[in-house]
Every structure is written in structure tokens, then in C-alpha cells.
Chain A
Amino acid sequence: MSWQAVARKEFRDAIRSRWLHGSTLFFALFLGGASALFFGVLLGPESRQVSNLFGFFASLGVFSFSFPGLLALVLGFIALSTSYGSITEERETGSVKLLLSLPNSRLDVMIGKLLGRSAVVVAALLVGFLATFVILVATGSRLELGSFVPQVALTALLGAAFVSVGLSLSALADSNREATLATMGLYLVFAILWGSIAEGIPKLINYAAEQVGMSVAELTRVKIGVFLKYLNPLKTYETLAAQLYYGPAQARLVSTTFGERTILAPVLEGSPPFYFTGWFLFLVLLAWIVLPAAVGYWSFERADL
């Protein structure tokens, strides 16, 4: 197994790219800037605590906004762009022939690329969090490390998940152009379309059931819809981050509409079904790291170069 060799190569290569330098600078300005704005200017001394920015969730029913959600959107984009070309570009330039003329199996290549590129994204992210940390300390804010540190770890995992998705597309695509378009398309789905699809599917199921004279209970429909929403890695991350600050019952409601909330809240206050527990959603996040890369490997393993 020589995946370590591939991972090291990927890291050394990607760490020198201007794109990454730009991303790092962006994270530093984005996280550091937001922290400086919130903890230095907007918040009074009493409310200077991490949860007021990194646990900032506002839901207006039809429209919800959260700082972790925004961070996830940005991170998803950067992680995808770091990885979607990692195989197609090597195929197009021909460096893949060097890579695979060495005793690296294609599994080594996938694992090495996933870990190497994830490490690069995480490194850029950590620079941003470091800037935040400095500002937190400088402004005398309450650190709430018990929530903040796990959130940093979750954010890193989300970065790895999107690296995995991009890597998978890179393995599946026939050309760099195809990989670019697929990545852009998929990002749109994650960022914008997923919610509508998740809400639409239970309605379709219900419609189908009505056609044969049955019906699906409203609670079931809501459960299906909300469950599907949280399968989106952006939302998985968002709700897990919320759980760190507000507990599971509140956190499961951050991406819901008013209607859904009214129906679902009593269920969550009691004993929530396993698929709404934090652990299950954490597994979903891990699956987003493993499964796309596995699918990519399956395709790459079969391909002629």
C-alpha cells in the first residue's frame, strides 16, 4: 500500500497552487473578518461568545440563514474546486502515467488523493479558524471550546466530504470539461435545489398513494421530507453544528419550514426516531466522505487510461 506516497505528493503539489493560496487568504479574511465584525464591533461585551457567531441561526420559515450554513456553502465550493480536476487533469496532461507507472494501485491513488487534497483544504480552513481564535482571545470573548472545537472538527469533515464528491466526479468524467460541468451542476443541486426536491418527493409519494386510494399520513410525509433534507451534506453539517450549541431537538428544526416545525417539534421533544439522532447524521456525514470516493474508485479501477 503506497497511499501515503500519493497523499504526500498530492499535498506537496496542491499546497503550491495559487488557487489554494487564494482560498487560504479567503478563509482567513472571511472567518477572521466575520469574527472581527461580530466580536469587535457588533456585539456588546456581555454577548461576546462564540455561539453568537458560529452558532448563529435565524429562521424566518420560508427563508433561513445561519453562519455555519454560509461557511458550509463556501467550504463546499472551495473543496470541490480543489478536487474535481485531480484525476481528469492528470489524465489530460499525462502525469497519470508517471503516477501509475510507479507501484501505486488505483486504490492507493484514490485514497491518497482523498487524504492529500482533504489535508490541503483543512489546512486552509485551519488558517481561517486560527485567525478567528486570535480575534476571540483579543476581544476577550467567551470561547465555549466544548462546542467550538467539535465544530472545527465537523467543518474539517465537511471539507473532506466535498473533496470526496469532487474526486468522484473526476474519476467518473471522461474529460476535465465534463468534470467541471458536473461539479458546477452538483454544487447547484446541493446549494439550491436539494430543499425543493426533498419537499417534493413526499408530495409525489402521497400523490401516487392517492391514485391507488391510499394516503400517507402528514407526519410521515414531513418526516420523509426533513430526513431527505438532512441527507444533503451542507444541511447535515448545519444541523450537527446547531446541535453543539442548542441540543438535538432544536437543531433538527433549523432547516425546516414553519409547517414542518409545528408537526415535527412534538416528535423531537419526545424520543426522536434514530434517523434524526445526532449519531445517525454524523454517520451520514462520514458516508459522504467514503461513498463518493468508493464510487469513483469503482469507475477508475475499470477505466483504460
Chain B
Amino acid sequence: MAAIELDGVTKRFDDVTAVSDLSLTVEDGEVFGFLGPNGAGKSTTINLLLDFVRPTTGTVTVLGHDAREESVAVRERTGVLPEGFDVYDRLTGRAHVEFAIDSKEVDVDPDDVLDRVGLADAADRQAGGYSKGMRQRLALAMALVGDPDLLVLDEPSSGLDPAGAKEMREIVLEEAERGTTVFFSSHILEQVEAVCDRVGILREGELVAVDSIAGLREASDADATLSVAVGDPVDDDVLESVRALDGVQRVERSTEGGLRVGCDSDAKTRVVTALEDNGVTVTDFTTDEASLEDLFLAYTEGERDEPTDADASVAADDGEADADTTASRDSTATSDPAADSGETADSDTAAGAEDADADSAADESDGDETDAPDAGDEAIEEEVQR
């Protein structure tokens, strides 16, 4: 049985389409990571699962129940760690868990649950005095009450320190081992990689990819960089013949006298074979896989055809500027993770150009220009999450 089924779901708010024709199935027992930049519609999708908001069109089925008509039945078996929630300041931690126990009509010792999330010592304190991380743990404790069949975690590690995030990850894995389906959203990729069976990538309300991490790597154009250490210096002819191989984008000499080859993942063996066929002794080779970060950026930003600010009309009739953005992003996204900051600057320059203002485009180093698209992102995020 599918734990979550979204079928052609669109959610429009007054002036924003937060989720557009989304179809997605999460199987029972799966750990599914829901990725996307801020404002992509992740929280809206989760809110649809919980009947916090209602779909404009399409159907949402959770644990075999219609999310709209049978929401209580859904939530009886679902533990939720919502995003942007707050605790009841005047109630103690234990009172919160007792509220969850009462609501779920189960018989559980609240202290056991609090102990599991590391809040046993703070159980009698008013939750208003809790830190962000403690509030997050408290909500997780409430979610875990009654051993849910489905855990829905919206940005679970926000506000947690690294140790807290690790504990959160461990609890997620424990639950998954118990057979619980876990659906969680994140923009922190390492987390997703560490725990997820499959991920879905959401961009501007549309699902752009659903696959395992390995599958995504394979499917995306993001390539690997192969570093080859050789016995003797390689001459130019050999360099040319490697360059001519299928799936090889570039070949250059590294500072240590070896080679750096940018190629598709499946071309690596061909490169090494070709070198050896040409009489080059390969003493060692390493590959740097495209980082998940690159992968993510390739999916979520690679073909962005809408500006991040609200000025949609300008971008609509400015196809050339868009094409430039795409090109520059593709090249930077695939070369070097360290170039991330440079990549951001590039795209922002392009965004500046979209404003049809030649002067601002020329002024590449302008700090204000760099900030503007981010602010736009946040504005959209806020609107989408009402």
C-alpha cells in the first residue's frame, strides 16, 4: 500500500501557485526526502497532507484515507513535526506530551517519550523557556506518541545544533527500522543523503525529479572529476586521444604532473583503459563525485526561467538573459563545489540584467544587487507558507 499518494495536486493561494499538478507516491516503509529551495512548495505539500490547507484541484491520500475528508483518521496514525510551529508557552513539556497522549487516546508514559528525545530533565519547565532546539525536540516527542505509522517531518533539523541533528537522524532511522514510513523535507542535503531511500526534488511548485540519490546522480548531467596519477609525463597526442573519448568533457594536466579529467561517471574506466593502451602507467586514480550540492543546484536552478523577485513581467519577454543564466549556472555547477559563492554571484548578475538595466548589469560587484534575489525568495516563502 502507498503511504502517501498525491494525484494531480494543485494549490493556488490568492496570487501564488504554491504547488502545481503534483503527483507523487511514497511507499509504505519508505524514507522519503523532499528537497527544494525555500519557497518551492515543500511546506505547502506537507500542509496538504495534514489538511492544514486544501487542494485547489487533485486528490491527496494518506495511509489509505482521503486527506481532506478523513483527516482525523490520517492524523491518528501520523506523527508530525511541523515547520514554523510554536509551543504553548505556559504549558510544561510534560503537559504538551500529555496533550498529545490525550488527543491520540493512547496510554503512554509521557516521561518515556520525553526521555527518548532528551527532554526528561526539562519535563517540568514551562515550554516558553525552551530553546529553539528543545522546542523542536518537544514537537518530535509529541509526534512519536503512540508509535505512528507515518512520520511527517518538516525541516526537522532547523534550530538543532549538529549533535541534535545527529540525534534527530538516529531517531528517524530507528523509526524507519520499525517500519514507519518517514516523509521529511529539507534543504540540508547531507541529511537527506544519510537517511533517505528516495528523494523528490521540488522546484517552484513542480516535482522535477524523484529517484534514489544514486539514480539522481546517474540521471543528472553532473559529472565526476577523475584525477589520474601517472608514472611518466603524458604527451599531447595521448591527451588528445583521451579528450576524444565518449563522455569526456575536458582533460587538463594537474600540477603534480598527472591528469584531471572531467567526464561522465560511466566514462571513467574508458579513460583509464585508453591511457594504458597508450602506454601510460596509471599509478593511482581517484574520482570526485559531483557533490549532492551540485546535483541539487543542477535540478533546482539549472533551468530556472522565472526571476526570483516579484517582477515577473520583465523576465517573461527577456528570453536571452535567461539563456545566459542557464549557461553560466551549468558550467559552474558542474565544475567545482568550491565555486558555489562565485556561482551565486553569476546568477545574481544575470538577475540584475533581467531588470533591463544595462548599468546595473555592468556593476557586477555591487553588494545590493547580490542581496536582492534572496530577499525575493524569502518573500515568496512567506507567502506560500500562510
User: Which residues of A come within 8 Å of B, CB atoms?
Assistant: 2, 4-6, 8-9, 12-13, 16-17, 93-95, 97-98, 100-105, 304-305
Contacts and interface: CB of A to CB of B under 8 A. Distances in A.
Contact of A101 (B50, B73, B96, B105): B50
Nearest to A2: B103
B217 interface: no
Contacts of B84: 94, 97
Nearest to A6: B103
A305 B72 contact: no
5 contacts: A94-B85, A97-B80, A101-B85, A304-B13, A304-B54
Nearest to B102: A5
The 4 closest A-B pairs by CB, nearest first: A5-B102, A101-B80, A97-B82, A102-B103
Nearest to A302: B54
Nearest to B48: A304
B146 to A, nearest CB: 9
Contact of B88 (A5, A9, A304): A9
B99 A102 contact: yes
A4 B72 CA distance: 15
Interface string B85-99: 111101100011001
A105 B50 contact: no
A207 B52 CA distance: 50
B85 A98 contact: yes
A199 B75 CA distance: 51
Contact of A93 (B86, B102, B105, B143): B86
A103 B50 contact: no
A97 B99 contact: no
A100 B78 CA distance: 12
A260 to B, nearest CB: 48
Interface of B: 13, 47, 50-54, 71-73, 75-76, 78, 80, 82-88, 90-91, 95-96, 99-100, 102-105, 126, 139, 142-143, 386
A104 B103 contact: yes
A95 B103 contact: no
Contacts of A95: 85-88
B158 to A, nearest CB: 13
Question: Helix, strand, loop or mixed for chain A's interface?
Answer: helix
Given A94-B84, A94-B85, A102 B75 contact: yes
Contact of B72 (A9, A12, A105): A105
Nearest to A91: B386
Given A13-B88, A95-B86, A103 B102 contact: no
A13 B127 CA distance: 11
Contacts of A6: 103
Contact of A8 (B83, B102, B126, B142): B102
Contact of B100 (A17, A93, A102): A102
A97 B102 CA distance: 17
Given A95-B85, A305-B47, 9 more contacts: A2-B102, A5-B103, A9-B91, A94-B82, A95-B88, A101-B82, A103-B73, A104-B103, A305-B53
A216 to B, nearest CB: 47
Nearest to B51: A100
A101 to B, nearest CB: 4
A98 B75 contact: no
Nearest to A304: B53
A278 B96 CA distance: 44
A103 B143 CA distance: 11
A96 to B, nearest CB: 8
Contact of A100 (B52, B105, B143): B52
Contacts of A94: 82, 84-86
B107 to A, nearest CB: 13
A101 B49 CA distance: 10
A93 B90 CA distance: 13
B50 to A, nearest CB: 6
Contacts of A8: 99, 102
Contacts of B85: 94-95, 97-98, 101
Contacts of B75: 100-104
Contact of B103 (A13, A17, A103): A103
Contacts of B71: 105
